[in-house]
Amino acid sequence: MKTRSGIPARVRGHLATHAACGVLMACALALPAASAVAGDIRAAVHDRDGKPVADAVVVAVPAGGAAGAAILPGTAEEDQRNKEFVPYVLPIQVGTRVTFPNNDNIRHHVYSFSPAKAFELPLYSGTSASPVLFDKPGVVILGCNIHDWMVGYIYVSESPHFAKTGADGKATLGGLPGGDYSLRVWHPRLEGSEQATARQLAVPATGAADVAATIGLTPDFRARRAPTPGRGGY
């Protein structure tokens, strides 16, 4: 006896099994997309006069102090151009290796005495022999033994969630798992401690959390370039 659809019961059983497998596979493929949802932090940093602060590093650490999702550190570059460190502030994650290419037509001698990373790259031009591993969190102040005004900063974050503000004082930290975070701000001229800027912030699983931070800045005591342009020099 034939079924109403004209398909034997045995064949219909096989078709049903294949259909169920197809549904399960589709659900499995959909799971990563569902678990990949993440939120953002949109930060705006100003000084006490209401002016936007550039080169401020905004860091978010998950509640409890954990480093958060496992994000492998990569590589970064701290250039030397026109007798300056470029960028002036370079934020990186712990475990990042940084190269120090010299794109000037003179040699530089890069060094740091900072507790987070003390190192020295003797006089060289072009690209140094090997990158430098930054394996401790903290602020690393860069200098050049030949040019006293050359100062740069590498901010080594224990968290993979960080960003640097632009000229408009704004920075976006993207792709954070939803939850509670401790947010803090650092700047080379920050008045007071970085920890004093910390605040608690809830990040949604999707969408963005907006936060405004006001920080005090100390005067800029960077050494003036010497000699003056057009009068020769080193």
Q: Which residue has the tokens 């509640």?
A: 63
- CA-to-CA distance for 10 and 105, rounded, in angstroms? 81
Q: Which residue has the tokens 């290796």?
A: 97
| φ and ψ of 30, to 5 deg | -80, -20
User: Which tens digits make up the pLDDT trace of 83-105?
Assistant: 999 999 999 999 999 999 999 99
- Span 40-68+161-234 CATH architecture: Sandwich (2.60)
CA atoms within 13 A on the CB side of 22: 6
- CA-to-CA distance for 163 and 9, rounded, in angstroms? 62
Q: Which amino acid is at 147?
A: H
- CA-to-CA distance for 8 and 1, rounded, in angstroms? 9
Q: Which two tokens stand for residue 211?
A: 């936060």
User: Which tens digits make up the pLDDT trace of 122-155?
Assistant: 998 888 778 999 999 999 999 999 999 999 999 9
Identify the CATH number of the domain defined by range 70-158.
2.60.40.420
- CA-to-CA distance for 137 and 95, rounded, in angstroms? 9
DSSP 101-112: -B-SSS-EEEEE
Is the whole model's pTM more than 0.85, yes or no? Answer: no
The pLDDT of residue 8 is above 70:
no
pLDDT score recorded for residue 134: 98
How deeply is 202 buried, as exposed, middle or buried, from its count of CB atoms within 10 A (0-12, 13-18, 19+)?
A: exposed
223 secondary structure, DSSP code:
P
- CA-to-CA distance for 22 and 107, rounded, in angstroms? 64
Strand bridging mode 117-124 / 151-157: unpaired
Residue 16: which pLDDT band, with cuts at 50, 70 and 90?
very low
Mean of the pLDDT values across residues 200-217? 97
